[in-house]
Amino acid sequence: MEYISRHMENRILELSRSYSAILLTGPRQAGKTTMLRKLAEKENIGRKYVSLDDLAMRDLAKNDPALFLQLHQPPVLIDEVQYAPELFTYIKIHIDEHHTPGDFWMTGSQIFRLMRGVQESLAGRVALLHLSPMSQREIVGAPCVPFKAEMAQLLAERDHIQPVTTPELFNRLWRGSMPGLVSGATPDRDVFYSSYLSTYMERDVRELSGSVDALKFHRFVTSAAARCSQLLNYNALSEDADIDIQTAKAWINILETLGIIFLLHPYSNNVLKRTIKTPKVYFYDTGLVCYLTRWSSPEVVESGAMSGAMLENYTVSEIVKSYQNAGLVPYLYFYRDRDAKEIDVILEGDGMLCPLEIKKTATPDNRLTRVFNVIDKSPLRLGAGAVLCLADKFSAFDSNNLIVPIWMI
């Protein structure tokens, strides 16, 4: 199948000119290895490839990391490096001796575990990047632009992106954004997600937690999917899966570690004291959510009870990917206080807070923007806000409140 180029490629090559090591994390099947092997071909410097999914290689890396690095000398791409954290110390020694940019490219599917090992051993020597499933911009071949609610940027952008209809947007949302599905390498979506859950997720969960009841874990992930875009409720999750609260917390942590979900935390400061403290849960891939919650077609999702939550999850994950793909950290929050005032997303940057409301409508009402002034009390300036919706073109209520079609993100 034809390879679909990723937005992060140039960033990796750029960082390879200044960092001796690059670590690319992200969920399995997100395309980390495929992208790096394509880039290695472009480099044409004879970069070797070794995968620690190979048990013999893993055993050598764990038990004799010095010999492993003698046999697999840089420049090298080490796949699934989380299986041998023992390598990090020896990689550090090599980097300190040679200082050669681009010597080590590494991938890992267990994000937080890797971060701990890397921060202990390779602090300051490694560039950390996260590759999620494909963004809609990657799928349609649009340029990589981190989303901002800025009139000038969005005006410049609107001519570079082909508008899509609401049914097509929900088709993207339902089909999912895994490269294997997008490229057509795995044409059957149901078969893809079924094997993804049983082959990758359950195996990784066992490695992270020792043992796991597969049926209960499946019920747990399904319960989390049914509550996407909602406040994280450990009680409800534990009841649905028939597990205790501590196990529910551990399994949420595992889903984060595997890059399946991310948590959006509430914005608060010393002035805004009435805000709630509970995060909201989102999935990186809405196709997986649709599969788990048994929505059989895009049309059923669009008309179903979860359509608003699904659209919000899709939109928030696209904003996050727009930053990750540029090698940047997205500073995203939401706002909800005890008076039931709520802002779906707050984007922080350049000393400003930009409030974003996500709505399943093609004709938004400017009353949606009234709640934006609740963050006026923040020490940061209130920037331009936007309603992200199903409008067919970019427009505005006024210079500070924009109307942005979700297909433009």
207-243 tens-digit pLDDT: 887 778 888 999 999 999 999 999 999 999 999 999 9
Residues belonging to the chain: 409
In a domain, 3, yes or no: no
In a domain, 394, yes or no: yes
**Across residues 245-268, what is the average pLDDT?**
93
Same structural domain, 89 and 186: no
**Model confidence over 110-139: pLDDT tens digits?**
887 777 777 778 878 899 999 999 999 999
Confidence (pLDDT) at 201 = 73
**Across residues 365-384, what is the average pLDDT?**
87
In a domain, 66, yes or no: yes
In a domain, 34, yes or no: yes
Same structural domain, 168 and 123: no
**Model confidence over 285-328: pLDDT tens digits?**
999 999 999 999 999 999 999 999 999 999 999 999 999 999 99
Give the pair of three-digit tokens for residue 246. 């501590």
In a domain, 1, yes or no: no
Domain span including residue 401: 136-408
Task: Note the pTM of the prediction, 2 decimals.
Answer: 0.93
Same structural domain, 277 and 393: yes
Same structural domain, 24 and 149: no
Residues 6+ apart with CB under 8 A from 387: 356, 357, 358, 359, 364, 368, 369, 397, 401, 402, 403, 404
In a domain, 256, yes or no: yes
In a domain, 2, yes or no: no
- State which of 107, 130, 153 marks the end of a domain: 130
**Model confidence over 165-199: pLDDT tens digits?**
999 999 999 999 999 999 888 889 999 999 999 88
Q: Is the pLDDT of residue 364 over 90?
A: yes
- State which of 84, 101, 130 marks the end of a domain: 130
Q: Is 171 exposed, middle or buried (0-12, 13-18, 19+ CB in 10 A)?
A: middle
Number of domains within the chain: 2
Same structural domain, 42 and 144: no
Q: Residue 31 belongs to a domain with what CATH number?
A: 3.40.50.300
Confidence (pLDDT) at 116 = 74
Residues 6+ apart with CB under 8 A from 295: 174, 301, 304, 306
- State which of 103, 130, 157 marks the end of a domain: 130
Closest CA to 264 of 203, 201, 313: 313
Same structural domain, 76 and 167: no
Same structural domain, 104 and 151: no
Same structural domain, 215 and 333: yes
In a domain, 329, yes or no: yes
Same structural domain, 124 and 142: no
Confidence (pLDDT) at 198 = 87
Our CA angle for 199, 131, 38, nearest 5°, is 90
Concatenated DSSP letters of 255-293: HHHTTSEEEEEEP--SS-TTB----EEEES-HHHHHHHT
Same structural domain, 112 and 196: no
- Could you tell me the CA-to-CA distances from 34 to 84, 118, 322, 405 in Å, in that order? 21, 23, 20, 31
Same structural domain, 194 and 121: no
Same structural domain, 82 and 210: no
Closest CA to 144 of 6, 7, 311, 335: 7
Residues 6+ apart with CB under 8 A from 64: none
Cis amide bond preceding 163, omega within 30: no
